[in-house]
Amino acid sequence: MRRYKEMIIVGSIAGVTLLSYFGYAASIKGSDYEVESIRKENAEALKKVNIEIENGDIKSTQYNIQLDGQIHSESQNYITGLFNSYAADFPANFYRFLSKEDVFTSEMGSRTYGIEVKASQLNYHSYDRSTQKQFKKTLSHRLTVPDREMADIRVFHQDGMNVYVQRDDHGTKEKSTVLLLNLAKGKVEPLQSEQLKTNQERHYVAVNDYGIVYREIAYDAEGVEKDSAYYLDNGKGIKRIKALDAYASEGSFNAAENSQSLIAYGTFDSEKSKSIKWSTYDFKTNQVKQHKVEGQHAYRFNGSYTMIAQGKLYHIANINDSDFQVTVVDTKNESISYQGIIKDKNAKKNRLVQDVTVSE
Amino acid sequence: MKKFFMLSNEEIKRSFKLYLSILTMLVIVELTSVVYQVLHYQSKLEDLMKKERLTEMEAVDQLNGPLTFGDATNYFKYMIAIGIMFTILYAFQIWYRDWYGESKYIYRLLMLPGKRITILLSKLTTVLVFVCGFMGIQWITILLSRRLYEWLLPEHLQAASKIIGESAALNMLYTFNVIDTFVILALALFVITMVFLFVLTERSYQKGKALLTIAKDVALLIVPFIALRYLFDLTSILIPNQQVFVYLSFILIYFIYISWKCVRLLNHKVSI
């Protein structure tokens, strides 16, 4: 033993100090979540909701929580960090298509779209995370190939096999075009093409029986927003939707699922409230209607997460430093179809809802 | 095994004093730097209060808020850089001292009965144990510094932060994930093995040929990496996760290659 004195000393320094570090790391407690359901209508549907929560601790961990009580946690490390989680969300060939330099990508709800415009054809790919279904179609049409640096293409509305696309060309003159991709017939139909004024921006929102809805923003010479408004173009004339003027600067109204109305959710109300609110705009009556349901607990607006999927509004928000209240609202009949609390038995702070997915 | 332990102990024994001196210096300099940062902050605060006639709160605001633990341990990153430099230099020195030392120790080493791979493994183990010691002692120093920071600085002048503070270098080294520690040690093993390969190549061939062989081995690492990157960017054959897998496999294969080459050079080429 004496012969190895130096080796034992140096080995002990390394061993004991590193073990104390490992011991400290092991003593760091993560969150210990449990789901406490207060109100539920359809237990089977709960399995389909997955809530991803991440911590801001020194030991980075991701928690996947299903409302039926299944919880998985995964600590992040350098190896897992190398594997891109964005790519992991998609099938390999779909991601490969998205990665191509001339493909324009956009997202709407659970769907991700990739559009590649060539001189004589348009390649359309989409992937739905909730159904895990991929769709591919090549549509033949003569189009000017957009300059990747000076153009943008995004899907803003989908009605079955009809996909509505906004194409912006930011050349010397700003031009905004609406294309209808008729996936059933394999055709591209240009619906509208507008030369915009300088310092003007347009976002197409929805297409329905009443016409095409878009939001237009005008900036002054310094780039500060001057005016914004929603417009309805019915093919014969353009009408400013005055009922939405008060909401236009936020731009929170989007097409509702039936596309016959617009819906806005997740807008600031008050820092602590029990009410979960959303607004709808009805084209028929030309009016904005406020809706609300009362949750069990007052929640914190800051850090709350709201989304709409399959006609339901999913609202997740902190009710204290560590617990979350989950509310699933049926927007059609303004009722709560599920409410529950994601409780952290270790009461850890600084958790953030990263993503919510609802599978079909 | 006995030969391995004997040789490892011998290597450690030869650098024992130097290593302990560096560790002690590291701890003293780091703790002193924390004391300096805290006292410097307090004196700046007092100066501001006197000259500008500010309240303590206003002076703290002017100094961009309370002193964080990250600010107090600002010099640690330089000490970590010195530790890394020492490790790399030591990886060279552990071989060259055997050739250039007064007693030409390398004669004795190469004449020892048994496999020569033991010589390589004992040197590798020594450097790795030193790296582990650095990491461990640095951790203990962080804990001591935290105590010092909390003890020296009044509570209202402290900023709440995690145990290791906000320093990017410390956060990279101490992620509190055991796997990450092994990844860092694997990276250290890779770099040390590369250094060993350079030394053994230089000792095995004449100057010109040695340089060419080293350049070839470095190119064997860099060129395929660039080629793979170019291929992946150009063709998008593989998605990013698959690309990472290819890169990691390549590094593993390269590591096996340099380890094999080190053993081969030591067995057949190294000249005294």
User: Tens digits of per-residue pLDDT, A309-356?
Assistant: 878 899 999 999 899 999 999 888 888 989 999 999 988 888 889 888
CA distance A252 to A281: 11
A58 with B163: Cβ contact below 8 A: yes
* pLDDT mean over B56-62: 86
Task: Please state, in angstroms and rounded to a whole number, the distance separating the CA atoms of residues A273 and A122.
Answer: 48
Q: Which tops the pLDDT comparison, A311 or A285? A: A285
Rounded percentage of chain A residues whose pLDDT exceeds 90: 43
Average pLDDT of the segment spanning A291-310 = 88
B1-5 — which CB contacts under 8 Å span 24+ positions?
B3/B112, B3/B114, B3/B118, B4/B118, B4/B121, B4/B122, B4/B125, B5/A4, B5/A7
CB contact under 8 A, B176 and A76: no
B-facing residues of A in 49-78 (CB < 8 A) are 57-60, 75-78
Report the pLDDT averaged over residues A95-117.
Answer: 90
Of A284, A156, A288, the C-alpha closest to A210 is A284
The predicted structure's pLDDT at residue A152: 93
Q: What is the pLDDT of residues A123-157, one digit of tens each?
A: 999 999 888 999 999 998 887 888 888 899 999 99
Question: What's the burial of A291, exposed, middle or buried (CB within 10 Å: 0-12/13-18/19+)?
Answer: middle
Average pLDDT over residues A151-173: 90
CB-CB neighbors (< 8 A) of B19 in chain A: 10
ipTM for this prediction: 0.90
**What is d(CA B63, CA A15) in angstroms, rounded to the nearest whole number?**
41
Residue entry with tokens 């390969």: B197
The reply to whether residue A82 touches residue B244, judged by beta carbons under 8 angstroms, is yes
What is the per-residue pLDDT for A43? 66
Question: In this predicted structure, what is the pLDDT of residue A167?
Answer: 93
How many Å lie between the alpha carbon of B61 and the closest alpha carbon of chain A? 25
Q: How much is the average pLDDT of B172-197?
A: 95
Interface of B with A (CB under 8 A): 5-6, 8-9, 12-13, 16, 19, 23, 129-130, 132-133, 135-137, 139-140, 162-164, 174-181, 183, 236-237, 239-242, 244, 248
Per-residue CA distances from A64 to A73, A353, B178, B197 (Å)? 6, 10, 22, 46
Rg of the Cα trace of chain A?
25
Selected for mutation to probe chain B from A78, A89, A100, A348 (highest B CB count within 10 Å) is A78
Residue B65 three-state SS: coil
- The predicted model gives B201-209 an average pLDDT of 90
Mean pLDDT of B11-27: 93
Distance from CA of B176 to the nearest CA of A (A): 5
Q: At residue B51, what is the residue type?
A: K
Please give the residue that has the higher pLDDT: either A269 or A315: A315
- Chain centre to alpha carbon of residue A81: 22
CB-CB neighbours of A359 under 10 Å: 14
Confidence at residue B260, expressed as pLDDT on a 0 to 100 scale: 96
Please state the pTM of the whole predicted model: 0.82
- Per-residue pLDDT for A2 more than 80? no
Please state, rounded to an integer, the average pLDDT across all residues of chain B. 91
Q: What is the band of A180 on the pLDDT scale with cuts at 50, 70, 90?
A: very high
pLDDT in tens, A25-71: 999 888 899 999 887 776 667 778 889 998 877 788 889 999 888 99
Q: Give the whole-angstrom CA distance, residue B106 versus residue B199.
A: 13
- Is A95 in CB contact (< 8 Å) with chain B? yes
Distance in angstroms (rounded) separating the CA atoms of residues A238 and A240:
7
Three-state SS for chain A is: CHHHHHHHHHHHHHHHHHHHHHHHHHHCCCCCEEEEEEEECCHHHHCCEEEEEEECCCCCEEEEEECCCCEEEEECCHHHHHCCHHHHCCCHHHHHHHHCCCEEEEEECCEEEEEEECCCEEEEEEEECCCCEEEEEEEECCCCCCCCCCEEEEEEEEECCEEEEEEEEECCCEEEEEEEEECCCCEEEEEEEEECCCCEEEEEEEEECCEEEEEEEEECCCCCEEEEEEEEECCCCEEECHHHHHHHCCCCCEECCCCCEEEEECCCCCCEEEEEEEEEEECCCCEEEEEEEEEEEEEECCCCEEEEECCEEEEEEECCCCCEEEEEEECCCCEEEEEEEEEECCCCCCEEEEEEEECC
- Whole-Å CA distances, B23 to A157, B19, B34, B227: 64, 6, 17, 42
Task: Check pLDDT > 70 for residue B1.
Answer: yes
Kindly state the average pLDDT of the residues B129-144.
Answer: 96
Q: What is the DSSP letter of B158?
A: B
For chain A, what is the mean pLDDT?
88
**Structure confidence at residue A225 (pLDDT):** 86
